[in-house]
Structures are given as C-alpha cells and as structure tokens.
A and B are shown apart, each in its own frame.
Chain A
C-alpha cells in the first residue's frame, strides 16, 4: 500500500516536471505557440485519463499553481481551473469508455473547452479583468489539447500493448 502511494507521488512529481519542462521549452522557443497549446492542460488531461480523479485533481492543482507562479495574473486561478479539469477528466474517464481515438478526442475537447470557459468566466466576471482572445486564436486551444492528448494516449496504449 505504502509503496503504491509512494509510486503515485513520484509519478505525480515526474508528471509535473514533465509539464514544466514542456511548458518551458515551448514557451521559451516559440512564445506564440503557447496561445494554442497549454502544455499544463495537456499533461493534466493525459495523466488524469490513465490515473483517475484524485491524481488528476492533485496534478491539476500543482500544475496550475506553477503556471500561476510564472504569470502576472491572479495566483490560484489556473490552479483552480486545472484542479477541476484533472478531477472531472479522471472521474468521467473511469466511468465511460474513452479508449477509441475519436471518442477520446471528443471527450478531451469537451473537458478542455469547459476549463477554458471557467478560466474566462473567472477572469471576466469574478476578477473583472479583460480576457484577450487574440483574435479568436485562443479558442483553438481546446482543439489542440484534445488532438494532442488523444494522440499521446493512443501511442501510450499501443506501446503498453506491445510490451504486454
């Protein structure tokens, strides 16, 4: 039991580090790419589908707070939205068959869209700050997250099946 918990904590730490390095690389090399690709959301949905809601919620909280630390926005907004993203992605994927590629992509699209909507809601209505949609390009973010997330999950499943 203790070993499993330790393994999960290690996995979460590794996942967070992966998310951060991914975020740093993409943000540092091509900043404009970060408008359509939120590396933290991508990692949160990818891990939540496989690991469940508790893992997803904790990973979402950590990733969100890290993203907030490197941002001038209100500290905690990304943390909250990613906690909910991680939890509900993990929760629903345990109860629904989201293994087929198209179904998986559609599911991740819905979850990422909800996360973006919540983030917009918080910024626009609760914190009363203007949300910059970058001429609508920001709305592509859920599509990119869904597509890349499904691709990663499909490849991971194939690799696992081959090993087995």
Chain B
C-alpha cells in the first residue's frame, strides 16, 4: 500500500474516532434527552425494521397457513386474541372492582377500556443493552404517545413508551432499565416504594424502603400505585425475591418482574387515562 494511501486511511480513522469521542463526551453526565440525530435515525429506519419483520411474519404465516390445518389455526388465533383481551380486562377489573359499585358502570367502562387498548407486536430489541428497551410496531397513527404504560399478554407491566415515537413505531423503556422508576406497593403490608432495574439480568430493586420499616415480605406481589401518573394503579409488576438490611438507611430489596423478556412478542399499550393513577 502506498504511503499516501496509508496516511489517508489513518486520517479517516482518526477523524471518525474523534467524532465518536466528541459525541460520547457531550452526553456526559448521562440521562439527558435523546439527540436530534439519534431520533432522526430512528424515524428514518424504524419503518424499514417494521417492513422487514412484517415481511418475515407474512412469509411465515403464508407458509403455516398453507401447510397447517387452516381452520384450527384461525380458531386458535381468535382464541389467543380473546385471551389477550380477557387477561387485560381481568387485571383492569381487579383494580376497578373496589371503585365501581354498579354492574352497568363496570360494563360501560370495560367497553371503553377494550376499545382504547392498543395491541402491538415487538419488532426489535436493544442488542447492546439487554433488558432496557423494545421497539413496537404501533406509533402515533395508532394513538401511541410517550408515557403510555405497556403490559404483556398476561397483563403484567412491561414498561412505558418513550420518545421517539414515529408514525408506526414506538420505543418502550422496560421496567428492568436502571433509569426507569415505577411507583409500587406490596400486597401484604402495603409498603410503597420505587422500583428500578439493576442491570443484573432481569432483576429489579425496590428503593427507598427504610431499614427501620417493618413492612415487606419475601414472595410479596408488587403492584403499581398510580402515584407516578404514568402507570395506572393495580397492575402486577414483580414479586419480592429477597430483603436484606444494609449499612445505609435503606433496605436492599430485590424483586423479579413478572414479564418474560425472552418470550415477549405481543403487548398491550394502555390508554393514558385508564386505571386509578390518572
């Protein structure tokens, strides 16, 4: 390789490295808003991602339809969809049962709730940072806005939609992300705390529970309180795995979320006004 060409190669490398280092350094301290360039790339490429995944699913479905027993498959899909909605409604009902007294009220609200639920499919995951985010195939055209709660097919909390939300795609911040915060309450002693991810697999921490506090038991269910004005109250979030006293003023409480990252495929995006939180 001639010396001139070699020099050009290294100049390009140095330019690219400096560009990236500058890009990284302007984001420190972490936790700021997403950069315009980052959002622009998401807006441009997310439709490509959706098309690729949809095309694959289309091919897969055509193949299955051809070889499988068509009627059984269709029936199965209908039942699955019905089960999906019923699971969501069950959770919602559990929350609302104590609030609404008349059956007519419940029916009316339930109908509205079903109509406002947005079912979505997972089309992408965060490959660099597991358990932090997902990409869904529904965007602003389907009524998705940032800060909408997202549940799995069993009605367990998965996370919330965050910017950028493009026309047909949306990003979800998972509850296992260390930068996420969910206001939760324990089922037995009604201990209220904030749950965040730990970056240790899919485990979460229940924060700000004083060492002197008596509440909280291993095996307790944690549900949303609705205090954060994002997640409606009463959604099942996690189960307490362990409680340890520490040298600081707060206990170390580890919880295991109910949703499964490995098998998550279909989710429900909850309307902003549902539940008791808003």
Residue of B nearest to A129 (CB): B199
What is the bound-complex CA distance between A91 and B264, given in angstroms?
41
What is the bound-complex CA distance between A134 and B28, given in angstroms?
26
Q: Pick the residue among B16, B133, B201 that contacts A83 (CB under 8 A).
A: B16
B contact residues around A27 at 8 Å (CB): 124-125, 127
Residue of B nearest to A23 (CB): B127
B92 at the interface (CB under 8 A from A): no
Q: Pick the residue among A34, A35, A69, A130 that contacts B42 (CB under 8 A).
A: A69
Q: Do A75 and B199 have beta carbons less than 8 Å apart?
A: no
What is the bound-complex CA distance between A65 and B39, given in angstroms?
11
Q: Do B130 and A53 have beta carbons less than 8 Å apart?
A: no
What 1/0 mask marks residues of chain B from 173 to 207 whose CB sits below 8 Å from any chain A CB?
Answer: 10001110000000000000000001111000000
Q: Do A67 and B20 have beta carbons less than 8 Å apart?
A: no
What 1/0 mask marks residues of chain B from 235 to 278 whose CB sits below 8 Å from any chain A CB?
Answer: 00000000000000000000000000110100000000000000
B76 at the interface (CB under 8 A from A): no
Q: Do B9 and A53 have beta carbons less than 8 Å apart?
A: yes
State which residues 125-183 of B face A: CB under 8 Å: 125-133, 135, 171, 173, 177-179
A28-B24 contact, Cβ under 8 Å, with A53-B9, A129-B199, A134-B201: no
Residue of B nearest to A95 (CB): B1
What is the bound-complex CA distance between A61 and B190, given in angstroms?
50
What is the bound-complex CA distance between A75 and B26, given in angstroms?
10
Q: Give chain B's interface residue range (CB within 8 Å of chain A).
A: 35 or more
Q: Do A32 and B262 have beta carbons less than 8 Å apart?
A: yes
Please, how many residues of chain A have a CB less than 8 angstroms from a CB on the other chain?
Answer: 53
The DSSP consensus for interface residues of chain B is mixed
A contact residues around B49 at 8 Å (CB): 20-21, 24, 28, 70
Q: Do B24 and A76 have beta carbons less than 8 Å apart?
A: yes
What 1/0 mask marks residues of chain A from 116 to 150 whose CB sits below 8 Å from any chain B CB?
Answer: 00010010001101111011000000000000000
How many A-B pairs have beta carbons closer than 8 Å: the answer is 158
Q: Do B16 and A57 have beta carbons less than 8 Å apart?
A: yes
What is the bound-complex CA distance between A80 and B24, given in angstroms?
9
B17 at the interface (CB under 8 A from A): yes
B99 at the interface (CB under 8 A from A): no
Q: Pick the residue among A71, A76, A94, A127 that contacts B132 (CB under 8 A).
A: A71
The DSSP consensus for interface residues of chain A is helix
Q: Do B12 and A54 have beta carbons less than 8 Å apart?
A: yes
Q: Do B122 and A31 have beta carbons less than 8 Å apart?
A: yes
Q: Do A76 and B124 have beta carbons less than 8 Å apart?
A: no
What is the bound-complex CA distance between A73 and B262, given in angstroms?
20
Question: Chain B CB within 10 Å — which of A25, A31, A84 has the most?
Answer: A31
Q: Do B56 and A29 have beta carbons less than 8 Å apart?
A: yes
B69 at the interface (CB under 8 A from A): no
B contact residues around A64 at 8 Å (CB): 20
- Within the complex, the shortest CB–CB distance from B196 to chain A, in Å, comes to 12
Q: List 17 A-B contacts (CB under 8 A).
A: A23-B124, A24-B53, A24-B124, A28-B123, A53-B13, A58-B16, A69-B41, A72-B177, A73-B132, A74-B28, A75-B24, A76-B27, A80-B20, A83-B20, A84-B17, A127-B30, A130-B178
- Chain A residues in contact with chain B, CB under 8 A? 17, 20-21, 23-25, 27-29, 31-32, 34-35, 38-40, 53-54, 57-58, 61, 64-80, 83-84, 87, 91, 94, 119, 122, 126-127, 129-132, 134-135
Contacts A28-B56, A32-B261 given; 11 further ones with Cβ under 8 A?
A20-B49, A28-B122, A28-B125, A29-B53, A71-B126, A72-B126, A73-B126, A74-B30, A129-B199, A130-B200, A132-B201
- Chain B residues in contact with chain A, CB under 8 A? 1, 8-9, 12-13, 16-17, 19-21, 23-24, 27-28, 30, 34-35, 37-39, 41-42, 45-46, 48-49, 52-53, 56, 122-133, 135, 171, 173, 177-179, 198-201, 261-262, 264
